[in-house]
Amino acid sequence: MEKRNLLLTIAYDGRAYHGWQIQENALSVQEVFQGALRQVIGDDFDVKGCSRTDSGVHANQYCISLKTGHRIPCERLVAALNRFLPMDMAVKGCRSVSLDFHARYSCKGKEYQYLIWNDPVRNPFLDGRAFHYWYPLDTDMLNQAAQAFVGKHDFTSFCTLDHRERDNMERMVKCCSVSREGSLVTFRVEADGFLYNMVRIMVGTLLRIAQGKIPEDGIPAILEAKDRSKAGPTARACGLYLNRVFYEEDL
Amino acid sequence: MEKRNLLLTIAYDGRAYHGWQIQENALSVQEVFQGALRQVIGDDFDVKGCSRTDSGVHANQYCISLKTGHRIPCERLVAALNRFLPMDMAVKGCRSVSLDFHARYSCKGKEYQYLIWNDPVRNPFLDGRAFHYWYPLDTDMLNQAAQAFVGKHDFTSFCTLDHRERDNMERMVKCCSVSREGSLVTFRVEADGFLYNMVRIMVGTLLRIAQGKIPEDGIPAILEAKDRSKAGPTARACGLYLNRVFYEEDL
């Protein structure tokens, strides 16, 4: 049977999952997704995710390429998968793409957001979905400080040590913002790619700036140092959302 | 020890709870709240909630009056309770009120909201927190139709039969709106009081109007009929939130 290649977009609340990738002894998004897929089209599939994503991280838009010989129409596949998936996961769309498309390698950029509930009292509706930070944050100042991330930089200082890739630590950050709506503070960043834990370390560094432990204009020097120990700690996974994934045709 | 009377406001995600009131064989908000209270101030308390609330209903602001001889300052009580409460519940504030204040009987009005996720695809972040309705809703039309609720009316048609109070079925609806933000549709209603299931039956009736099964201008006739069977079904509890509770001094 001739293969087709499909691009599926899903959303999931990551609280129950140890990231995308299938692994032993821990439930993953991929395992649950493939389980639903098996119910609908049997075993004839090869699935590629757009990125790993850590345990507890959420996705408003996660992209999957799916090679299959099965002829189910896109619309019916979406409806059927949503019936077999748990309530914390949903397929949002599906379309046919060329056979050489790969959810990860064809990706031209991504946007992440990080949510901080900035209030003395926790929000019972955001448990596991936003990082709770008690002390008032000056979001205008943080937004100003975060502009130093924009541009092409070596992000070695913003990458967890064990996961350094040898070759290229440069990434192009297109835009970056810190904004507030009531008690909810959102950090949003778009780049052509992200190193391991890069967004969470960016957020941890901004919180250090908020605490006065790193100067407001300290980010350029941290980038320059290419030294993980100069940046702030890795912020908790619960606040992180993969928001958008960009491919050639979208740009 | 001389008693004090405190007004506490809490918020909770109602998914795990069978409403406010303590009952056998089911977990209630009151039981969990009193459990935390016992850890902090012992057994010297008498707690009154501002309303019952159904199983699975949420609260952005629920009010409790608490009589106690314990002298713990308000701020410390809030912090201590939040340490003992589960993550789906939080105390937002506490203040001293006169001894004759009663969370339920002193209440002058309430505001509820009902959330509808109006999209072909469910939202993994709103499971149990919004009613998922697939077919497109014309919120401008529904907002127009809902204006017929405003004013002083006999709401017998919008009260579950078993729970009719004999005397007074009149309630004064101050304002009422249907609005949209992306796929999220919000019905909001403020009144001097609500009959049992009143908001959920209002929403069920608006959905019947959306389906063309009740005319757009049909609400006055349903009110007039004083007949539960003329209104729409009771919408699911999961979309309902107690938003605000009004007392004399706030008005």
Could you tell me the CATH number of the domain that includes residue A41?
3.30.70.580
- Region B199-207: mean pLDDT is 98
How close, in Å, is residue A88 to chain B by CA atoms? 4
Model confidence pLDDT, tens digit, residues A195-242: 999 999 999 999 999 999 999 999 999 999 999 999 999 999 999 999
B87 and B114 in a single domain? The answer is no
Mutate to test the interface with A, among B8, B81, B121 (most CBs of A within 10 A): B121
A11 touches chain B (CB under 8 A): yes
| B149 CB neighbour count, 10 Å cutoff | 22
| A127: amino acid identity, one letter | D
| A positions 53-82 inside 8 Å of B (CB) | 58, 78, 82
Q: B57 exposed, middle or buried (CB, 10 Å; 0-12, 13-18, 19+)?
A: buried
A82 and A114 in a single domain? The answer is no
Residues tagged in the binding site annotation of A for substrate: 112
B87 and B113 in a single domain? The answer is no
pLDDT at A250 over 60: no
Contact B121 A13 (CB under 8 A): no
A contacts of B80 (beta carbons < 8 Å):
none
- Residue A166: pLDDT band (50, 70, 90) is low
Looking at the domain assignment, is residue A190 inside a domain? Answer: yes
Q: B181: domain CATH number? A: 3.30.70.660
A139 in Cβ contact with A86 (< 8 Å): no
A212 and A162 in a single domain? The answer is yes
Residue A236 DSSP label: P
Looking at the domain assignment, is residue B102 inside a domain? Answer: no
CB pairs under 8 A between A and B: 52
B79 and B145 in a single domain? The answer is no
Rounded Cα distance, B15 and A1, in Å: 47
B82 and B143 in a single domain? The answer is no
A61 and A171 in a single domain? The answer is no
Looking at the domain assignment, is residue A103 inside a domain? Answer: no
A134 and A33 in a single domain? The answer is no
Q: Look at residue B52 in the predicted model and tell me its pLDDT.
A: 87
B contacts of A58 (beta carbons < 8 Å):
125
pLDDT at A183 over 70: yes
The first and second tokens of residue B20, run together, are: 């406010």
pLDDT at B10 over 60: yes
pLDDT at A127 over 60: yes
Looking at the domain assignment, is residue A168 inside a domain? Answer: yes
The pair phi, psi for residue A146, each rounded to 5°, is -70, -20
Provide the percentage of residues in chain B whose pLDDT is more than 70: 97
Structural domain that includes position B237: 108-250
3-state DSSP assignment of residue A27: coil
A83 touches chain B (CB under 8 A): no
Domain finish residue from A67, A97, A127: A97
Looking at the domain assignment, is residue B103 inside a domain? Answer: no
Looking at the domain assignment, is residue A191 inside a domain? Answer: yes
Contact B121 A90 (CB under 8 A): yes
Interface confidence, given as ipTM, is: 0.92
A245 and A148 in a single domain? The answer is yes
Which of A88, A122, A129 minimises the CB distance to B82?
A: A122
Rounded Cα distance, A236 and A213, in Å: 19
| A229 CB neighbour count, 10 Å cutoff | 8
Q: Look at residue A228 in the predicted model and tell me its pLDDT.
A: 95
pLDDT at B223 over 90: yes
Contact B125 A13 (CB under 8 A): yes
Q: Considering only A46-55, A105-114, B162-171, B205-214, which range has the smallest mean pLDDT?
A: B162-171
Contact A127 B88 (CB under 8 A): yes
Which of A87, A89, A124 minimises the CB distance to B87?
A: A124
Q: Look at residue A233 in the predicted model and tell me its pLDDT.
A: 97
Q: Look at residue B251 in the predicted model and tell me its pLDDT.
A: 40
Domain finish residue from A51, A77, A97: A97
B145 and B205 in a single domain? The answer is yes
A70 and A112 in a single domain? The answer is no
Contact B129 A125 (CB under 8 A): yes
- Region B66-70: mean pLDDT is 96
Looking at the domain assignment, is residue B159 inside a domain? Answer: yes
| A positions 116-155 inside 8 Å of B (CB) | 121-125, 127-129
How close, in Å, is residue A18 to chain B by CA atoms? 16
Model confidence pLDDT, tens digit, residues A45-98: 999 999 988 999 999 999 999 999 999 999 999 999 999 999 999 999 999 999
Query: What integer best gives the mean pLDDT of chain A?
Result: 95
A contacts of B124 (beta carbons < 8 Å):
11-13, 87-90
Provide the percentage of residues in chain A whose pLDDT is more than 90: 92
Residues of A with active-site annotation: 54
B205 in Cβ contact with B227 (< 8 Å): no
Which of A12, A88, A124 minimises the CB distance to B12?
A: A124
Q: Look at residue B248 in the predicted model and tell me its pLDDT.
A: 85
Q: Look at residue B166 in the predicted model and tell me its pLDDT.
A: 67
Contact B123 A88 (CB under 8 A): no
- Region A137-151: mean pLDDT is 98
Alpha helices by DSSP H, listed for B97-240, are 139-146, 198-210, 219-225
pLDDT at A251 over 50: no
Contact B124 A13 (CB under 8 A): yes
How close, in Å, is residue B123 to chain A by CA atoms? 7
Residues tagged in the binding site annotation of A: 112
Which of B90, B122, B129 minimises the CB distance to A90?
A: B122
A181 touches chain B (CB under 8 A): no
A contacts of B127 (beta carbons < 8 Å):
13, 87-88
pLDDT at A187 over 50: yes
How close, in Å, is residue A40 to chain B by CA atoms? 18
Total domain count for chain A?
A: 2
Radius of gyration, alpha carbons of chain A: 19
Nearest chain A residue to B16 by CA: give it.
A124
B153 and B29 in a single domain? The answer is no
Domain finish residue from A34, A69, A97: A97
Looking at the domain assignment, is residue A102 inside a domain? Answer: no
Return the axis-axis angle of helices B139-146 and B198-210, rounded to nearest 10°: 130
The first and second tokens of residue A149, run together, are: 């991330």
B241 touches chain A (CB under 8 A): no
| B177 CB neighbour count, 10 Å cutoff | 16
Residue A233 DSSP label: P
Give the closest residue to B77 by CA, choosing from B65, B64, B88, B91. Answer: B91
- Region A151-162: mean pLDDT is 92
A contacts of B122 (beta carbons < 8 Å):
82, 87, 90
A92 touches chain B (CB under 8 A): yes
Contact B122 A78 (CB under 8 A): no
Q: Look at residue B2 in the predicted model and tell me its pLDDT.
A: 86
Model confidence pLDDT, tens digit, residues B160-196: 977 666 678 999 999 999 999 999 999 999 999 999 9
